[in-house]
Amino acid sequence: MDYFDQVVPNTDLRDVPVLRSFNLSRARVIKVERPVVGDFARDYDTRVDGLASHFVWANRSKESLALDLKQEKDLNVLKKLLKKADVLVQNLAPGATDRLGVSYAKLKDEHSSLIVCDISGYGDSGPYRDKKAYDLLVQSEAGVLTITGTETEPAKVGISIADVASAMYAYSGVLAALIKRSKTGKGSRVDISMLEAMTEWMGFPMYYAYNGQSAPKRAGAAHASIYPYGPFETGGGSSVMLGVQNEREWAKLCADVLALPDLATDSRFANNSLRTENRKELKQIICECFANLSAEEVLRRLDKAQIASAQVKDMQGLWNHEQLRARGRWTEVETPKGMIPVLLPPGIATPGDTRMDKVPEVGEHNAEILAELGLEQ
């Protein structure tokens, strides 16, 4: 997000009632970007036909309005647009919107139905208020790196998990604010801190380390406190994921998959705590049983025994995932470089149930939006 996203109903800006039936899957989203350069994420890479992977992922169906908010004329355009908006989402540095005159405190009296969602790294108060916050830095502050990786080396989560967590709490917070507004007629402020969002997601390891106890050990792709739960090598250099959640499943794994029924009552592995403590010995036994089997054969045995399992897919395997294709989860959207495949949003049944519009160029919609506001470009 660069500067602001403003959510307005999917109608002409001149005809927007204060309260209405609101469908976010069809919401009109106007992205306010810096002129010429736009959102910095546009230039992170060129992997999608010359466009950036981050940008095309997060910006389909948005309209781009290029404004220089340091210029009074452009700032007035934003203020006029906000009079028609339902929701303002922004992630400028704490205090920036107040200086511009578009903070919730500055807008609530004149635009009483407006919902303002502020997203920042650490919140608008406290000693970390003015620290820069990028995804990896917040993962570090939230302790994610201490539980992710191998015994010898910490690792960040491979996707921007702190960004995604804060975005999802912003989404649910805005939905709640819209419901509240439908009952009270009043807007409200949604205050999202990336650190607080990430800390909420760290609930299990935090409580595991409650009152000074040791944190979960880094276990690579395996589970830190449940075993066997993770990757196991098979013949041919492949591997499978499997997960045993209870003693009944453990017994079935031993008898029906490993053909070692007596292993279920081995004193080293008689309960989950012991299996976790003795995971190295148990992994060696399991991998020896799998060594003469292909990954496909192991998966068939696991499925027959109703033991949870999964293939370890790479990115091309995900693009071609048979389950996603069978459920018709793919469609296409237009970009400045042509059509690209996109996944339908979770919960949306067909492309007709949501907006699946173009990924915009910088300022592509300036003329249209300014005309709707009765302004000249």
Claim to verify: residue 37 and residue 116 sit in the same structural domain: yes
Q: Is the link from the previous residue into 228 a cis peptide, with omega within 30 of 0?
A: yes
Please give the residue that has the higher pLDDT: either 3 or 360: 360
Helix, strand and coil percent figures for the chain, each rounded to 5: 40, 15, 45
Q: Domain boundary residue among 282, 312, 342?
A: 312
The Cα–Cα gap between 305 and 282 comes to 19
**Where are any strands of DSSP class E within the chain?**
4-8, 28-33, 62-66, 87-90, 115-120, 189-193, 229-233, 239-243, 308-311, 330-335, 338-343
C-alpha distance from residue 192 to each of 1, 100, 126, 163, 174 (Å): 14, 20, 14, 11, 11
Q: In the sheet that 239-243 helps form, which strands lie side by side, from edge to edge?
A: 229-233, 239-243, 308-311
pLDDT in tens, 38-75: 999 999 999 999 999 999 999 999 999 999 999 999 99
According to the model, what pLDDT value does residue 376 have?
Answer: 82
pTM across the whole model? 0.87
pLDDT in tens, 138-164: 999 999 999 999 999 999 999 999 999
DSSP state letters, 311-327: E---HHHHHT-HHHHHT
CB neighbour class for 214 (10 Å; exposed up to 12, middle 13-18, buried from 19): exposed
pLDDT in tens, 257-281: 999 999 999 999 999 999 999 999 9
The average pLDDT across 208-217 equals 95
pLDDT in tens, 331-340: 999 999 999 9
The reply to whether 324 falls in a domain is no
Residue 18 has pLDDT above 50, yes or no: no
The average pLDDT across 300-305 equals 97
Six-digit token pair at 74? Answer: 């452009």
Claim to verify: residue 176 and residue 266 sit in the same structural domain: no
The Cα–Cα gap between 139 and 121 comes to 11
Instruction: Give residue 21's pLDDT band: very low, low, confident or very high (50, 70, 90).
Output: very low
Claim to verify: residue 18 and residue 135 sit in the same structural domain: yes
Claim to verify: residue 121 and residue 165 sit in the same structural domain: yes
Claim to verify: residue 194 and residue 234 sit in the same structural domain: no
The reply to whether 160 falls in a domain is yes
Of the chain, the percentage scoring pLDDT greater than 70 comes to 93
Claim to verify: residue 58 and residue 27 sit in the same structural domain: yes
Closest CA to 220 of 195, 239, 236: 239
Claim to verify: residue 345 and residue 285 sit in the same structural domain: no
Claim to verify: residue 297 and residue 333 sit in the same structural domain: no
Q: 284: domain range?
A: 229-312
The reply to whether 335 falls in a domain is yes
The reply to whether 222 falls in a domain is no
The reply to whether 341 falls in a domain is yes
Residues in Cβ contact with 259 at an 8 Å cutoff, skipping those fewer than 6 apart: 289
The reply to whether 176 falls in a domain is yes
Residue 232 has pLDDT above 70, yes or no: yes
For 232, the 3-state DSSP assignment is strand
Claim to verify: residue 278 and residue 352 sit in the same structural domain: no
The reply to whether 211 falls in a domain is no
Residue 2 has pLDDT above 60, yes or no: no
CATH number at residue 290: 3.30.1540.10
Amino acid code (one letter) for 95: G
Claim to verify: residue 135 and residue 259 sit in the same structural domain: no
Our count of domains for the chain comes to 2
The average pLDDT across 353-357 equals 93
Claim to verify: residue 114 and residue 259 sit in the same structural domain: no
Please, what is the average pLDDT of the chain?
A: 92
The reply to whether 319 falls in a domain is no
CATH number at residue 349: 3.40.50.10540
According to the model, what pLDDT value does residue 370 have?
Answer: 96
Claim to verify: residue 290 and residue 345 sit in the same structural domain: no
